[in-house]
Structure 1
Amino acid sequence: MINPDQGRINVINEILQAEQDYVKHMKDVVEGYIRHARKRVDMFTEEKISVIFGNIEEIFKFSTQFLETLESAYCKEQPQQSELGKCFLKYSKGFEIYSDYCNNHPSGSAELKDLYRKQKYRHFFEACRLLQEMIEIPLEGFLLNPVQKICKYPLQLAELLKYTPQTHPDYVNIQQALEAMKKIAALINERKRKMESIEKLARWQHTVEDWQVSFILGKDLLERSSELIYSSEINKINSAGWSQERWFYLFDHQLVYCKKDLLKRNGFSYKGRIDTDECDIIDIEDGKDVQYNVTVKNAWKIHEVDKDKWYLLYAKTPAEKQRWIKAFQKERERVREDQENNFMPDHWKNKILNRIKASQEKQNSRTQSEIQYKQEFIRGIPSHATLPRSYSKKQSKRRGWFPFGGKQKAKS
């Protein structure tokens, strides 16, 4: 059985050694790759460098300072008395910079994969590795380091806490640091989930017809919302008392309703939106509604306060109604959590929106080019163009006189 003091010393040494190796790798990437990439303006724009490497330079600077703090807290005479928990607590807020890196990493990997298809980039990256005398690991391996590192901190602190007696002056610090790093990991995961959700919303919005009408009534969906909470087909009573089947989509901050396009499979056209930040949800009993002069079941009302506009909606079953009521409650909880934890910083969301917009413009440009090419190709064919006579004769001989019945039947 390992002596508690020795166990603690082993964990402390592992944390320090791992951090030193990590900072060295970050330094190799910054000085070995990024520095040389900036010199080759014919191959790398600043935007391309940003996509590939993210904010790794910022992480390197932060990690260097963090390592210096860890090393200054190390007690050489009595390593078991070292108080590393204080160091993690001091820098806990700073670890949030890993969120930007982790969310950018998939895009960086995709960009790097595209570049590796070209020989000159493969040679460039390999030359950088050799000049920096780095171990034989491809660049994508080094760029994965920060993603893996931020996940290891809670594990290291949990192991350190295991070998730290409650009487140790750093015990409470380690406990608090462990909780803080778990929150950082949860924050990063939540922001990654939000990013994936925003990309899904962008694709969905792109398929809805008449969406440009919504710009007159308010902001773009993605500027206010980041995830879909719930959706289903329910009925809306209009001002004349008629029932209309509509698909309702509940996002954070707004409720959008669309009409299903019967001529198109999975097609929808935009009809309107409700600001859930400025509305009240009112549960109503089955029976006749005086305001709309109709009898309804499984219904509820929405009052958009700032516009003083009312909506009467009803579901097909009591269970579906309850799902909607719970969804409205969940939407308010999500909005509150986002505000408290800053899951969606403005600079980060704008970056995603710009990337989506650029991707859509690129796709639209490619589609337009294909259409233009086809039009030009068709215009280039003479209107009097016919098949060569030799080809026509060959086809006639091949078919014979009985194209549908094959060979001529013998006379009886």
Structure 2
Amino acid sequence: MMGCCLFMHQKKRKQRKRDVDSLSLCSLDINEPSTKRVKPLSRVTSLASLIPPVKAAPLKRIGQTLQRSISFRSDCRPWGRQIAPAITKRRDSKLWSETFDLGLGHMLSSTEIKRQEAIFELSQGEQDLIEDLKLAKKAYRDPMLKLSIMTEHELNQIFFTLDSLIPLHEDLLSRLREARKPDGLTDHVGHILVDWLPCLETYNSYCSNQVAAKALLDHKKQDHRVHDFLQRCLESPFSRKLDLWSFLDIPRSRLVKYPLLLREMLKHTPNDHPDHQHLDEAMNMIQSIVADINTQTGESECRYYKERLLYLESGQRDLLIDSSRILSCHGELKNNRGAKLHVFLFQDVLVVTRAVTQNEQLCYQLHRQPIPIRDLEWEDLQGGEVRLGGSIRGAFSHSERTKNFFQVVFRSGGQLQMHCFQASDAFNKQQWLNCIRQAKEAVWSAESGAAQTACQDGARPQHDAQH
């Protein structure tokens, strides 16, 4: 009897093993070797080739101040019944050589083919941009207005001058298509860009408004009607898994891509080509335009956050804050007790605040006295060097709480102010340290230049007196 039971037990174990093996094989890609380790589905980080990849981090920097709030979906489902994923509309990338396959390849050099590809990419990018801008209006703005999900005033603040950008890019697309010959070749494009690029100055107001637009959109997402509408759009095929802010940020992303496209055209345009001079002129124009827009956008962001600082007492007000025109970086950090703080690094002063809501608006209440950058000292703290909630973590502690800390110190006379900040990860911490270091170097450089100028000005009267 015992032998029979043992036999049945072994038989069941073998059967269970065969079932598990069979299930494991079903979970593998049939095109992959069975020895390959299968990883769980990771989050999608591509924006369908429309937006250049940016390292996502809570820290916001000049030129990258507006983080893309992309919503991701990653459903982990158990083995068994599989639910078919929603069909997502994808945008196919097109190449000039594939679109105009007229047997010209043997007549053109590889350099000329690359030049035509770059010109075609410019044209195709304009078409994609126009489609996305129209989609943002048709699928988001108009329905939300019609359904009273947001007021017209709120939508005007969020979408701002988006509509006015559509005819601007339709104009460039029309010119590029007119310049293209029936066989698909485009001989000259530089003169078109030189004539059209000044229109991009209208981007100044749109990009400068993005800080306020993003803040309002994030606030409105707390309304369940707004959240539900945007979530339904995100799950619809037309969105390509991009949320509303991704569409609103596409114009800015397109703007910073123009220098890259022009550089590619110049690279494959010979110096003796009639188009080279115009392309070179267009390159200088776009670099100047982008730099100017970056400056104005940075100043607009700086003003926006300065206006939302709340002072508990008059002694916290600082002329260095009032005179700042640049916000080097800002973001959420934790102190050594785990409390969340929002820290601003202006060009001349570090401001530590707590995020609060006042009149349904997110504001920032000063936590301590502002710290002048010129008197600020900093240190990268390694594990085991941080006092957490009144206790010292040992040097060999593996606690996650002791990781990614750095310290800033301010000494002035008998005053001492010290902060231990914890970043979200090592990359985020390094960004903060880099920004602080650069701000410190900029202050030193400015003071050194001012001292040198003062010295020269003081020497001039003596020089003139000798004559």
Q: TM-score, normalised by structure 2?
A: 0.43
Larger Rg, first or second structure (1 or 2): 1
TM-score by length of 1: 0.49
Larger RCO (CA under 8 A, 6+ residues apart):
2
Flag the structure with higher helix content. Answer: 1
